[in-house]
Chains A and B, each alone.
Chain A
Amino acid sequence: MAQNDSNTKDMILSLNSIEVLYDSVLLAIKGVSVEVPRGGMVALLGSNGAGKSTTLKAISGLLKAERGKVSRGEIKFDGKLIGDILPQDRVALGICHVIEGRRVFDHLTPDENLEAAAPISMSRAKIKSEKERMYEYFPRLAERKSAQSGYLSGGEQQMLAIGRALMTQPRLLMLDEPSLGLAPFLVAEIFGIIQRINKEQGLSVLLVEQNAVAALEIVSHGYLIENGRVVMHDTAGALKENSDIQEFYLGGGEGKNFHEIKHYSRRKRWLS
């Protein structure tokens, strides 16, 4: 396989045909290759159960908690192989994964949620200023910083989950379905903030979404994953124009059979 070195250098993350096994038998993803350029924003699109979340868990190492493991392929972060590194050490390297379903610490206040995520080595003054930065991004959280997080609204919890992840000082932020169950205006607000942080801080973002309409508005590239494989990879603009994508993921297009999308897995394999 021809690895183009000049090409991989400006990639903060590259997955090279990885396979994931659950419980040593169930093959959840079958040779996924994805690249995220430094400072870029990339989306993984696809339907339920396609393998998008599993791909993120392989990158963050959280597979371990679900008895899954990467059985083949390699994951490079910042040019370094990270397959054997513990999840907490990957966070220290600069990868943070906002897991699906928000999962804020219900019985802690938003303020404590943010504090829990600050690296151990971070000084008290820095923690304070970082928390202020999060409250500036998400003013709603500042209003409720002493409430019990379990009682925040869904949108506030998603903001808290993102703020909490940002406290770990990531260089790559991975978001799993941040728009799930949120009103469109909240999705726009949250995506707006992510875009702003991406521009201002150069934070690289890997976004998993079923809401392809919203996702393709903010990312530069997208990968379409079906049945544990990448079946399409293109710029956001081209994906938006693509008639199959329009039909199956953007809710437009007209009368095509779902089976026809499979020819992309042969025609448009990312690796070849």
Chain B
Amino acid sequence: MDWIFLSELTVNGALTGLLYSLVAIGLVLIYKSSAVPNLAQGALTMTGAYVVLAFSHNLGWPLWVAIPLAAVIMFLLGMGIERVALRRLAGRPIVMILMMTMGIDIFLRGTTLAIWGGSSRSVNLGVSYDPFFLGDMLLSRIHIVGAAVAIALFVGFLLFFRTRLGIRLRAISDDYLASWSIGISVERGVGLSWGLASVVAVATGVIWGEVQGVDQSLSVLLLKGLTVAVLGGLDSIVGAIVAGIILGILESVGADFLDPFVGGGSRDLIVAAVLILTVMIRPHGLFGRHDIERV
């Protein structure tokens, strides 16, 4: 057994997992503030990356201008989605809202494809491709940057949900009608959560765009993000981070063991197994809230 190789797989897996956590944090943000699982988070991530590219490549502006500007635009887009598509659905059965987020996903993918085409572009974040040596382990620098961003967002949102505004958003996700009854503007709260999730999508899109290039496949990150979010518990920020690390390690170490037997491609099988088993065995995930039933 090659222990250095195994620990390298583990650490790189954990780092990749934290990049999945970025997607999951966006999902959790919206779920925690409005109890809606957002199936468009992958497409939002991709759109965020394209908007950054529009400024940095098409207009030639530096990234330190392009990224914050894209964050502002995506925040407005997120708020706009709530205003146009979701506001009239408030209080309707969750399945209709779910279908709406799916519609938004398809719409965003179609729109980006029409505007930017299908070819892959790179972000050129300026992070070196040379490996980073930790002892004898080889680590990817962009993954380290991405993991750091994930941790920073995690700490930031953990604090945010303890503020007055954060408490209000959690209240909305618990009970729309009760929130209205005490004067909370449910619509504005949900809009804000979509805005914030869209800003997270910009960060996610830039990191993942640097890792694998910006193209339509970025939207498929939804599947990994959703798996992480479900495993962690849909409304738990802590869960998004812990589950990201777990899934990342399972995926990289597990694939190393399984690939020789199945001839490759076992990564996706592991992700699918995690998602299915979580829903079967522990539907509220590792840290998610239960629906409280008092007798």
A residues with CB within 8 A of B:
60-62, 65-66, 86-88, 91-92, 96-99, 103-108, 112-113, 115-120, 148, 150-151, 154, 164-165, 167-168
Write out, one digit per residue, whether chain B residues 149-191 have a CB within 8 A of any chain A CB (1) or not (0).
Answer: 0000000000000001001101100111111111111000000
Is the pair B174, A65 in contact by a Cβ cutoff of 8 Å?
no
With a CB–CB cut-off of 8 A, which chain A residues contact B91?
A: 65-66
Write out, one digit per residue, whether chain B residues 183-217 have a CB within 8 A of any chain A CB (1) or not (0).
Answer: 11100000000000000000000000000000000
Is the pair A107, B292 in contact by a Cβ cutoff of 8 Å?
yes
Known: A105-B174, A151-B292. A168 touches B180 (CB 8 A): no
Is the pair B292, A88 in contact by a Cβ cutoff of 8 Å?
no
Is the pair A62, B171 in contact by a Cβ cutoff of 8 Å?
no
Is the pair B178, A99 in contact by a Cβ cutoff of 8 Å?
yes
Is the pair B292, A103 in contact by a Cβ cutoff of 8 Å?
no
Known: A116-B168, A151-B292. A107 touches B183 (CB 8 A): no
Is the pair A92, B294 in contact by a Cβ cutoff of 8 Å?
no
Min Cβ gap B142→A in Å is 37
Report how far A106 CA is from B290 CA in the complex, Å. 10
Known: A150-B292, A151-B294. A106 touches B174 (CB 8 A): yes
With a CB–CB cut-off of 8 A, which chain A residues contact B177?
A: 62, 65, 99, 103
Is the pair A164, B182 in contact by a Cβ cutoff of 8 Å?
yes
With a CB–CB cut-off of 8 A, which chain B residues contact A61?
A: 180
B residues with CB within 8 A of A:
90-91, 164, 167-168, 170-171, 174-185, 289, 291-292, 294
- Which residue on A lies nearest to B177, using beta carbons? A65
Can you spell out 20 A-B residue pairs with CB atoms less than 8 angstroms apart? A61-B180, A65-B176, A65-B177, A87-B183, A91-B182, A96-B181, A96-B182, A98-B181, A103-B178, A103-B181, A104-B178, A105-B178, A106-B175, A108-B170, A113-B171, A116-B179, A119-B183, A120-B164, A164-B182, A165-B181
- Which residue on B lies nearest to A91, using beta carbons? B183
Report how far A162 CA is from B170 CA in the complex, Å. 19
